Each structure stands twice: as structure tokens, then as C-alpha cells.
Amino acid sequence: MREAVRFAEPDLLLDAVVTAPLHRDCDRVNGELISPYDEPLYHPFQRLTEGLAAFAVRAVVTGLGGDEMVALSQEEYPHQPMGALPDAARLPWIGEHARGAAEFSDDGIAPPAVVNSMTLLSLETTAPLMLRQGIWPVHPFTDPVMVQLGDWLPIDWRQLKQLQRRRLVVFR
């Protein structure tokens, strides 16, 4: 894949001081209206996509979903999912009526996505800035076949992202 993709020359270098997340030129700092769903690092990411667009880049292949592709399952490593809420009955701001309805909160919901929810959140926050610049984001690690491949990998390859770590050593 790496050999099939042409890379722009010269490399796009951004000054980290000028592109800091809350730099004085940041739209967020200046009170501009931006979507709360836009990239949490809005300013640096906006500058990056503007720079890519200036190079006439029309597509970006990302690594989003790579970490989640090799994540251990609940069966392999039981843990509380990120963002999971405690039992509704214990939340002090939940009233009597809501407490009674809590047991039905998962009834009739859509089936889970093949792609991890954290990956989907990353995609929905990064895509708008790229698409506004005319850049199409491509996320190979979110393909259901790649997700399935990740599920099939041996646990010792996935634990602590060993597969990625070993691959990076090759590129040193």
C-alpha cells in the first residue's frame, strides 16, 4: 500500500507553536462558530488540512482504527468500556420515572457497528475538516474485513499493540 501511494514533495511541516490547539489565531479562541463535533485539536488539524489542500491532495489514507483493530476483547481482558455509565439507579440526578425506565434503555436499539465506537467517534471528528478542504479521508483499518483480521490475530500480537510495536522497530 505504501509503495502504491505517491507522497507530496516536499514534506508538509507545521510549526507546533503557531499551530498549538489554543493559539491566538484559533477559531475557537476567537469565538468563531465551529461544530462541537469537530476535531478536538481543531486548530492544528485545520492548518494541516489547509496545507494538504494547498498541495492539491485529494485523498488521505489514515491509520484511524488501527489501535482498535488489535484491541483485546471483553472476553480476553474484562474491563469497563470507556465512557460507560454506572448503573442508572445510583446516579443522584436520575429521577424515579427515569430509574424505572432504565431497564428498557437498550430495547429496540440498532445493532452494534462492526467498527469500534471510539473509531467511529474519531472518524466523525476528523472527516468534516478534511471534507471541507476537498480531501477524501480513507480509513483502511475500519474495513470490516480488517476488523475481522484483527479479531483473528493471536492475543500476544495484539496485547499492548505488540504487532504495531514490532513493525515500527523494522522501520528504525
Taking Cα atoms as reference points, which of 97, 98, 80, 77 lies closest to residue 88?
98
Whether residue 99 is contained in a domain is answered as no
Report the C-alpha gap between 115 and 37 in whole angstroms.
19
Q: Return all residues near 26 (Cβ < 8 A) that are at least 6 apart.
A: 20, 42, 43
Whether residue 59 is contained in a domain is answered as yes
Whether residue 26 is contained in a domain is answered as yes
Tens digit of pLDDT for each residue in 86-140? 565 567 777 888 877 877 877 888 887 888 888 888 888 889 889 999 999 999 9
Whether residue 92 is contained in a domain is answered as no
Whether residue 1 is contained in a domain is answered as yes
Tens digit of pLDDT for each residue in 147-159? 889 889 999 999 8
φ/ψ bin of 56: left (φ > 0), alpha (ψ from -120 to 50), beta (otherwise) = left
Alpha-helical regions (H) of 75-143: 96-101, 117-132
Domain total for the chain? 1
- Contact between 45 and 39 under an 8 Å Cβ cutoff? The reply is yes
pLDDT, residue 136, reads 95
Whether residue 94 is contained in a domain is answered as no
pTM of the model: 0.70
- Give mean pLDDT, residues 46-72: 89
Domain that holds residue 14: 1-78+117-172
